[in-house]
Amino acid sequence: MSNFKDQVALITGASSGIGAALAHELAREGANVVLLARRAERLETIASQIDPNGQRVLAIPCDVTKDGELDQAATFARSKFGKIDIVVANAGWSLKGNVENLRVNDYRRLWETNVFGVLSTIYATLDDLKKTQGRLVIISSVKSYVALSGDSPYSMSKFAIRALCESLSQELAPHGVSVTHICPGYVATEIRQLDNQGIWHSDWQDPISPRLLISADQTAKQIVKAISRR
């Protein structure tokens, strides 16, 4: 029997990519899923794919950078399912450019989602995870270990997340809460179709060779295996 049966998993950035794939995979493993993202229509589509009756899924439009929205989403999740066992902090985007061509505000905009959005997700659900001795999963990147030219904003944010995970894993262990830091390589998602303003361009081609890409579905399967090992 799956150890996710009847668990409740809250996932940010669940409208596409790794977040959406994780929602499907955890649901297949028997979990109830709470989907959070800004794009309401995309969320509803994914929710209906997972469970057309809506009994095992809850879709909540939510912007992790907006004060109070994550707290409200967690309240809705508790109201429907009574608990939260798994939290996946997945919302994030990328910003490109050499340091001399960017400004501090560019870094600040990215960090609002990639770093402070993760922190806000944790603060909104930490008491729940302590009650259930649950699992905190933070989706980062291999770039939390290796920084490349023209990628300092994104890499900085992921280095910060790695430090956060290392501290949290020690702080939360006495409460029975596991912390899993996920660092994928190149995944076939929409992230490289976003410009520096966070606007999606459907006609942009992925600059990464297909030979170097792993699908979001394959990534989700590996993440679920990692989570199951706590």
Residue with tokens 């309401």: 40
Neighbouring CB atoms inside 10 A of 31's CB total: 25
- Which amino acid makes up residue 22? L
Q: Is residue 181 part of a domain?
A: yes
Please report whether residue 3 resides in a domain. Answer: no
Query: Does residue 1 form part of some domain?
Result: no
Known active-site residue 154: yes
Alpha-carbon distances of 173 from 10, 40, 69, 154, rounded to whole Å: 20, 35, 27, 28
**Ranges of residues in the chain whose predicted pLDDT is under 50:** 1, 201
Residue 2 inside a domain? The answer is: no
pLDDT score at 45: 97
Residue 132 within any structural domain of the chain: yes
Set 107, 123, 145, 154: catalytic member: 154
Candidates 18, 105, 123; CA nearest to 64 is 123
Residue 203: count of CB within 10 angstroms of its CB: 5
Please tell me whether the overall predicted TM-score, pTM, comes out greater than 0.75 for this model. yes
Spatial contact of 155 and 144, defined as CB atoms under 8 Å apart: yes
Is 61 among the domain residues?
yes
CATH number of the domain at 92, please: 3.40.50.720
Instruction: Return the pLDDT at 76.
Output: 98
**How many Å separate Cα 5 from the centre of its chain?**
21
Burial class of residue 78 in the structure, from the number of CB atoms within 10 Å of its CB (0-12 exposed, 13-18 middle, 19+ buried): middle
Distance CA 164, CA 119 (A): 9
CB 57 within 8 A of CB 35: yes
Domain span at residue 185 reads: 8-228
Predicted pLDDT at 1: 45
Q: How many domains does the chain have?
A: 1
> What's the pLDDT tens digit per position in 11-58?
999 998 899 999 999 999 999 999 999 999 999 999 999 999 999 999
pLDDT 10s digits, 147-159: 888 889 999 999 9
What sign for the dihedral angle of Cα 33, 34, 39, 44? Answer: positive
